[in-house]
A and B are shown apart, each in its own frame.
Chain A
Amino acid sequence: MIQVEQLSKYYGARAAIRNLSFRIDAGEVVGFLGLNGAGKTTTLRILGCVLLPTSGTVRLDGQDLMAAPRQIKARIGFLPETPPLYEEMTVGEYLAFVAGIRGVAPEGIRSRVVETEERTGLAALDAERISTLSHGFRQRVGVAQALVHDPDVLLLDEPASGLDPVQNVEMRSLVRSLRGDHTVLVSSHILPEIAQTCDRLLVVRDGELVAQGTEAELEERLGLGGGVEIELSGPVDAVVAALRSIPGVRGVSVQPAAPGRSVLRVDAPDALRPAMARSALQAGAELYRLDVSADRLESLFLKLAGRSGTA
């Protein structure tokens, strides 16, 4: 679907991105991960036809971006880091305007606007002026403008930037709902946020692609042990023994928690979480929490995207 080869962009002597090459298949939701200044926005702006590369090629279904920019633009929806909104317009007017300039036939514009508003949770705000909307709804309008012409490819640059936790969950759910209908490339500098949404990750550091794959593949390649935290009450020793007996569990440590409860840190792959839950319950424990260790995601992110690590 999208084929990027040897893509570079220089601002004077400084390289914003260098020889980036990757491929994204149709229907995939791919996360573009990197620290601020790693080159995510520059890459997305090039893919979105806003910026021209210094060298390299971008192909969409074999069609070169530079050779047929208008045809390719009609197939791409792009949400920049700052949603491009005309504040004096209402949501409906704005989406109709965007649909019009993106080539939707006049008779189909209203139905596309209504459909997009319903999909992005903006139906009740059709007649609201954009200037009166909260940050969360502005982000949604930003996503809606990228979707309104029903593009094959969606490029979302930090769509959850500045959102509160509830809005963040809603945005993740919205991005997940696009899987299958659209090919999505979504950038972020927050690994937990992107890991829950995407099928695969592309990691950039200092303008270069340093790793790609699923979260589990990246962990394996980096030699990171899995990390699962279980908060429970009950016979801790019995639970520890039961967990250690599961093939694949490399170690279990007990950490203090709230009175009457314990937190077990289990060094094991994510895939063993159901088996761990079963064993803990069979050993007589009551489970309060079982999830991937936040420390693990953090260390994975630092190893991948941090300036001192290597992948």
Chain B
Amino acid sequence: MSAVLLIARRELRGYLRTMTGWIIASSVLLVDGLLFNAFALEGSRRSTEVLTRFFYFASGPAMVAAIFVAMRLLAEERQLGTLALLYASPVRDRDIVLGKFLGALAFLSGLTLATLYMPLLILVHGHISVGHLVAGYLGLLLLGSASLAIGTLGSSLGRTQVVAAIIGAAMLVSLLLAWLLAAVTEPPFSGLFASIALHNAHFPPFQSGQVHLRDIAYYLLVTWVALFATTRVLEARRWR
């Protein structure tokens, strides 16, 4: 097994064997359920509209969960001194980052897919297309992946997990609110800000059951840039 997969497996086990992982999972599932019950099911709506609202309300907890899942990835290793173990091993810094990210992504994906019972309830009691379901979950996973990568970058910058979460959340909120800047700036900046908004510009098609290549490419690019920056931060830390 490659070092990346070994690190990913250890990371995933870390979530499953500690209280932190279960607290994050149970909190997110509770909030998802409450939001689904309170907002997605309210009033009289068509099944498709209920599913669209489910994905919309599930996207918030997915982003918050990503930040909490990511905060420990590197900040905790630095706090506990275990980063020295990885640094001293014949593993590239990018493999360390990738392994830790993939382990966290597996946990987040499991957490996201654990909400599947809610769309299945809609499916049982109404009529929705499987395509809509797949597109919505693909969007949630891509949004989660991008948020997780941003959180990982925050974790590499923060000295403690709390600081890491704050840095990650600040970067995430900046990208989320980029559409506000688009409204108050002139072209070409307004177009730029509108296109980099993490949620507004790219998630709505997924929640409505549409998959556009540009949205997939955007989330993958954000993920890659954040992980690349994380690798650079890790490399720079060897000088300090």
Interface residues of A (CB under 8 A from B): 11, 45, 48-52, 69-71, 73-74, 76, 78, 80-86, 88-89, 97-98, 100-103, 106, 145
Contacts and interface: CB of A to CB of B under 8 A. Distances in A.
Nearest to B14: A88
Contact of A88 (B18, B86, B88): B18
Interface of B: 1, 3, 6-7, 10, 13-14, 17-18, 80-92, 238-240
Given A97-B6, A100-B6, A103-B90, A145 B239 contact: no
A98 B82 contact: no
B85 A84 contact: yes
A92 B18 CA distance: 18
B1 A100 contact: yes
- Interface of A, secondary structure class, is loop
16 contacts: A11-B240, A45-B84, A48-B87, A70-B90, A70-B92, A74-B90, A83-B81, A85-B80, A88-B17, A88-B18, A97-B10, A98-B85, A98-B89, A100-B1, A101-B6, A101-B86
Contacts of B10: 86, 89, 97
A114 to B, nearest CB: 19
Nearest to A129: B17
**Which of B85, B89, B91, B238: most chain A CB closer than 10 A?**
B85
B3 A100 contact: yes
Contacts of A88: 13-14, 17-18
Given A52-B239, A97-B10, A100-B3, A86 B82 contact: yes
A49 B87 contact: yes
A102 B1 CA distance: 12
B17 A50 contact: no
Contacts of A52: 238-239
Contacts of A69: 90
Contacts of B239: 51-52
